Amino acid sequence: MTETFAEQRLQIADACRVLAMRGLADGILGHISRRVGPDRILIRCRGPHERGLAHTTAADVRLLDLDGAPAAEGELDGGWRPPNELPLHTEVLRARPDVQAVVHAHPPAVVAADLAGLAIRPVIGAFDIPGARLAQAGVPVYPRGVLVRDRRLAAEMVAALGAKAVVLLRGHGITSTGGTVPEAVLRAKSVDAIARMSLTVASAGGTLRDLPGDDLAELPDLGSAFDETTAWRHELSRLQ
């Protein structure tokens, strides 16, 4: 292969391990992709000795085209195969040129909160500023608990996502997007944190209230160097 994308493969592998460590993708379900060209992606695939996301290595990340075929010699040799929900990634990337990375995970708290009728709302402020802004912009729901295994179902999910950063999949999980792999993972983590907070408040008999608009407007933009670079360095350090 003339292009090995070693650094990018390792980043996706680390990101999969972060999802597992944070409890967003327990077991063998979940995957991350990254655009690396007009019609090529790197994506976490499953091999003959699958052990789950917590044990992902760079070797689990394969270079494919948007139809799931190997985009370089040997990428699917030896029993490797794309995830069943590959269209979930490729349809987002086809429809959204602003998106460079897609995360699909199964965070139990997000699924439970949605089933309980608790939307992802801006109920927090400085606790998680990027999360507050994400919630303020809105987190839509794709209301079908299906395996997004073909382009038809993926197109439905993409329509529900629209121009937003994250979409919940009812009875299923979450699809999170970003300009980078860390951004997509950190957005998923923020949604999970709000879902957990909402479930805790509801279980204590409390009432969820959106933060006042004046408070949301007062929240500063701390910049990507803090919100993403430093936050991601912290997530990687936790893996050690």
Which CATH number do you get for residue 47? 3.40.225.10
Q: Is residue 24 part of a domain?
A: yes
In a domain, 102, yes or no: yes
* 3 pLDDT above the threshold of 80: no
* CB proximity list for 46: less than 8 A, separation 6 or greater: 28, 60, 80, 81, 83
> Hey, which residues are catalytic here?
85
Which domain does 188 fall in, by range?
6-239
Round the average pLDDT of the chain to a whole number and report it. Answer: 96
Structure confidence at residue 101 (pLDDT) = 98
Whether 22 is in a domain gets the answer yes
pLDDT in tens, 75-132: 999 999 999 999 999 999 999 999 999 999 999 999 999 999 999 999 999 999 999 9
Q: Is residue 1 a part of any domain in this protein?
A: no
Tally of structural domains, the chain: 1
Q: How far apart are CA 139 and CA 150, in angstroms?
A: 23
Q: Starting at the edge strand that comes first in sequence, how are the strands of the sheet with 31-37 ordered?
A: 61-65, 40-44, 31-37, 101-105, 173-178, 166-169, 141-142
Q: What is the pTM of this model?
A: 0.96
Q: What would the two tokens of residue 119 be?
A: 């939307």
Report if residue 224 sits inside a domain. Answer: yes
pLDDT greater than 90 at residue 188: yes
